[in-house]
Structure 1
C-alpha cells in the first residue's frame, strides 16, 4: 500500500474554499486524512456515515440542552465530512453514490441540529423566539441549496446559447471581413482599384479614476484571498453553520439569538450580492432568439408552439 505524505493530502484540498474550512478545519482534517489513508482501508462512504452519526449525536446534545457538547460534536462531524472527500481524491475511490450520500448527509445533519437546538432551548426556557430561530435557520439553508443550482443553470444556459450563436471562423478560401473590397457603400475609385472606406470606431469612455482604483483594490484583495485558498464570498453556508452550531453554542445560551441574527443578516446580504452578480452576468449577454420551428411539423389549423 502506498504511503502518502502531508503534501499529498494538501494537494487534494479544494483550490478555493471557505475561510472557516481553510483556517479552522483543514489543518485538522488533513492530518486525520493522512492517518486514515496510511493506516486503514476505510472507504470514503464509511467516513461519511460516521460523520452523519456524529451529526446526529450533536443534534441529540443540542436537544438535551448540552450546548458545548453539541458544538464540539458538530465541529467533529464537519471535520470528518471533510476527510471523506480528501480520502476519495487521494486514493481515487470516489463514487457517484458517495457524492449523493455526502450531500444528503450534510442536509440531514443541518436539519436535525437546527431542530434539536430550537427544541432544546424552547424546552428549557419556554421562549418562542428559539422556535423562530430554528425555522429561520432551516429556511435560509433551504433557500441556499435551492438557489445555488438554479443560478448555475442560468449561467450555463447563457454560456451555451451565446456559444451556439457565435459564427464559425471563415474557411481557408473565404476572405476575412476586413479584406472585402467589393460592394463598398461609398467607394473611392482610383483607376481599377476600389477601396472600401471604414468608419472610425468610437473610443470607449474611460471609467473615473475612483472606479478604477476601487477595481484595482478589489483585484488585489481577490488575489490575496486566492493565495490563501479563500473564496471571495466570505459569508457562505459553511460560515453560517459554524456560527449557529459551533460559535454561538460555545458562547452560551445568551449568545444564540444575537449571533444567529447577525450571521443571518450577513448571509442574506451575501446571497443578495450573488444574485446581483448573476443579474449583471445576464445583462452582459444579449438575448438569443429562439429558432423558428419549421412549418412542415406544425399541426394543421393550430399554432406550432401549442
Structure 2
C-alpha cells in the first residue's frame, strides 16, 4: 500500500469478477457510498470528503483498476478498461464489503464509471453524483473546432496502441504535471507531497491510463450509443456539480444530463476541476443533498 492513506480508514485488496484486485479504503457505518476518483489522481483526492461523509455513511473509496495501487492488467482487449468492466469492479467491491445497494459519487473518469454502473446495475445503484464531466457520448459531441483543444489529451490517448504510450512515457512527469497545474487555478490545492504522489502514481500507470481513455473513444462510446438508441436512462436520483466550462464550449449541462437522467439536479461551483480538494465542504454538502433525495431503502435503512 502507498505511504499515503486516508486517516482512520481501513484498507483491503478486493478482487473483481476477472480477478483484478483494487486497493480499497473504507470506513464508517450506515448506507454505502462509493467514491470514484478522476485523472490524474487516486482515491486520495477524496480524503476530506470521505472523512466528512464517514460520519453518517459507509464510505468506500477504491483506486480504479489501472490507477494508484490497484492492479494494472495488460490491455490485451479494449474491454479490459471499458467502463462496463470498471463498473463491475465497483459492484463486486461493494458486495464483498457487505453492501448490495449503494450510491456512487464520481469525479471525472470515476463519474463515467458511476454512470455505467447505474445503467448496467440499476438494482444496485441508489444515487449517482457527478463531478465536472459529461456522459461519454455527449463529451465527444460537444468538442468542436478550436475550443476542443481543452481536451487535447482525449484525442492523443484515443490513438491506436503503441505510439501514445511511448510519447507520454517520454515526458511523463511533464505530461501529468501539466493537468495538475492547468486545472488548479488557485495553485494551492495540493501540498507538494500530494502533488508528487499523484505524478508518481500516474507515471507508473501510463499504459493503463491510456487504455482507460482509449476505451472511452471506442467501446464506451458504443455502449452509450446503444443505450441511447434503446431509450435507456438512469432511473435513480442523479446530481452533477461543475465549474462553468459549458459556456466555453457552448452547451447546457442540465439539458445534456437530463436526457440521461429524468430525476436530475445541477449545481454550479466556484472552483477548479479538482473541486473535491479545493472546496471539500461544498462537495460533501453536494453529496449529502443528493443522498437525501427520495425515499430509498439501502440495506434495510430507509432514508427520507
Q: Structure 1 length as normaliser, TM-score?
A: 0.25
Task: From the two aligned structures, give the one with the greater helix fraction.
Answer: 1
